Amino acid sequence: MPIDARPSRLRLADVARALGVSVATVSNAFNRPDQLSPALRKLVLERAEELGYRGPGIEGRLLRTGHAGAIALYIPEPMTYLLEDAFVRTFMGALMNACQERQIGLLLLPAVPHEKSERPRPPAALDVAAVDAIIFYGLAGDDPVIQRALERGRPVIGIDMPDREGVIGIGVDDVGGARAAARHLIKKGHRRIGIISLPTSRRRADRMGTPTDFDTASIRFPKERWRGYAEAFEEAEIDPATVPIRICKVNTQESGRAAMDALLDQNLDRPTAVLAMSDVVARGAMDACRERGLSVPQDIAIVGFDDAPFAKDTGLTTVAQDAGEKALIAVRCALGETVETTVVSTTVMERSTS
C-alpha cells in the first residue's frame, strides 16, 4: 500500500475540541483578535502552537477574506530569461522591492516553451495560483493566457501589451522614444538606416521583414517603436518601404549579432546606422561589426532601446526608460492603489556608438 508522506493537517475544529471552546473562538484568535480578551487569545495561540497548528490554510483565508497576499507575474519567456536579460533583471529587482515594501508575495508563472507557440495553451499554474492579481509582461494581444486570466475575476495588469478590455495597461512612450532615436541618427547625417526588430507575433522566426509586419503585429512595443521610426523617416523624406528590417526570434545578444550580419549581407547599400529595438540585440550588433572589422560609429552607428545596466559601460546610445517606475506602477495597480499615470516617459541617451 502506498504511503502518503504528507502529515494530516490539523483543523480549527481539532484545536477548538482540545481547548473546549467554539470554532469561532479559535478563528477569532487568528483572524479577529479584537473579538477576544488578550488572555483568551494568548491561551488559544499557545495551545494551538503546542498542537502544531500554524493557523488557517490559504484555502480558508481565500474563502474568508478573498485575499491571498500575493501577486503573479507571467513573461512569455523561459524563467531563466529573468536572470539573463539585463533590463528585465532591473525590472524584476524593482518589482520585488515593491512587493517587499508592501509585504506581499510574488509568484512566477512558467511560460509555455516557444516551440509550442503554434498551438498555444495557458500554463496550468495560471488556473490554480492563489494570487490577488496577475501581471503580464510583453504578451501578444491574441495570447489565450490573457482571457484565461480575465475569467478568474482578479485584476489583470498588462505591461507593454496592446490595449485589451478588462486589462489595466502600463506602457512606455515607445513611439516618442523611437521617433527621437531615428531623428538623432538623421540629424547626424544618416540616410541608410537599418532596423533590428524584436518578435512581432507569437510565431517566431529569424527573418527579413517589411513594414507590413508591424501593421499586423500582435506584440505592442515592436509595432509602436516601428511607428516612431517611420514617422521620423517620413519627416526626413526617407521612404520607410526602403528601410532594411531584420526581425529576431528572441531578444538575445546572439540574435542581435546574427541580425546585424544579415543586414550587412543584403544585396543593397550597406546601412550607415542601425536602430535596434533593445539594448541586448544592439550589443550583439556591435559584436558583429567588430568581428567584421567595422568601427562603431565611424563605419556604422548603433542606437538601442531600454538603457540596460551595461549600456553606459559600453557607450551605447539608447532610448532610456525607467524599469523601476514601470514595476512600481504595476504593483500599485495590482493592489488597487491610485496611480498618476500608466505611461513611462523615454529619453535618448547619446553616447559613443552614434
Q: Give the HSE-up count for residue 282: Cα atoms under 13 Å, Cβ half-sphere.
A: 31
- Which domain-ending residue is among 171, 202, 229? 171
Tell me the whole-structure pTM to 2 decimals. Answer: 0.80
CB 281 within 8 A of CB 259: yes
CA torsion 164-166-172-174 (nearest 10°) is 10
At 15, which helix (H) or strand (E)? Answer: helix 12-19
CB 175 within 8 A of CB 223: no
Is residue 332 classed as helix, strand or coil in its secondary structure? helix
Is residue 348 classed as helix, strand or coil in its secondary structure? strand
Residues 205 and 307 in one domain: yes
Q: Which residue has the cell 522614444?
A: 177
Compute the radius of gyration of the chain from its Cα atoms.
26
Q: Tell me whether residue 265 is in a domain.
A: yes
Residues 291 and 236 in one domain: yes
CATH number at residue 30: 1.10.260.40
Residues 116 and 192 in one domain: no
Residues 188 and 259 in one domain: yes
Strand pairing report for 245-247 and 207-209? antiparallel
User: Which amino acid, residue 340?
Assistant: E
What residues make up the domain containing 20? 12-56
Q: Tell me whether residue 7 is in a domain.
A: no
Q: Give the HSE-up count for residue 229: Cα atoms under 13 Å, Cβ half-sphere.
A: 32
Grid coordinates of 237: 523624406
Q: Tell me whether residue 138 is in a domain.
A: yes
Q: Among candidates 300, 337, 298, 331, which has minimal Cα distance to 91?
A: 331
- Which domain-ending residue is among 118, 137, 171? 171
Write down the pLDDT at residue 16: 87
Q: In sequence order, what DSSP letters do the residues of 67-136 get, joined into one string?
A: --SEEEEE-SS-TTHHHH-HHHHHHHHHHHHHHHHHT-EEEEEPPPPGGGTTS----THHHH---SEEEE
CA 196/CA 222 separation, integer angstroms: 10
Residues 201 and 316 in one domain: yes
CB 160 within 8 A of CB 221: yes
Number of domains in the chain: 3
Residues 239 and 150 in one domain: no
Q: Tell me whether residue 339 is in a domain.
A: no
CATH number at residue 259: 3.40.50.2300
Residues 83 and 116 in one domain: yes
CA 140/CA 186 separation, integer angstroms: 31
Residues 311 and 186 in one domain: yes
Write down the pLDDT at residue 115: 52
Q: Tell me whether residue 335 is in a domain.
A: no
Residues 157 and 278 in one domain: no
Q: In sequence order, what DSSP letters do the residues of 207-220 get, joined into one string?
A: EEE-HHHHHT-SBH
Residues 190 and 314 in one domain: yes
Residues 89 and 199 in one domain: no
User: Which amino acid, residue 258?
Assistant: A
Q: Tell me whether residue 331 is in a domain.
A: no
CB 25 within 8 A of CB 40: yes
Strand pairing report for 245-247 and 317-321? unpaired
Residues 179 and 283 in one domain: yes
Q: Tell me whether residue 316 is in a domain.
A: yes
**Alpha-carbon distances, residue 165 vs 76, 149, 214 (angstroms):** 20, 12, 22
- Which domain-ending residue is among 171, 204, 238? 171
Q: Tell me whether residue 140 is in a domain.
A: yes
In tens digits, the chain (354 residues) has pLDDT values of 343 333 446 777 888 888 899 988 888 887 777 788 888 988 888 888 888 776 665 555 555 556 778 999 999 888 888 888 889 999 999 999 999 999 999 999 988 665 544 444 566 678 778 899 999 999 998 888 899 899 888 899 999 999 999 999 999 999 999 999 999 999 999 999 999 999 999 888 999 999 999 999 999 999 999 999 999 999 999 999 999 999 999 999 999 999 999 999 986 688 999 999 999 999 999 999 999 999 999 999 999 999 999 999 999 999 999 999 999 999 999 999 999 999 999 999 999 999
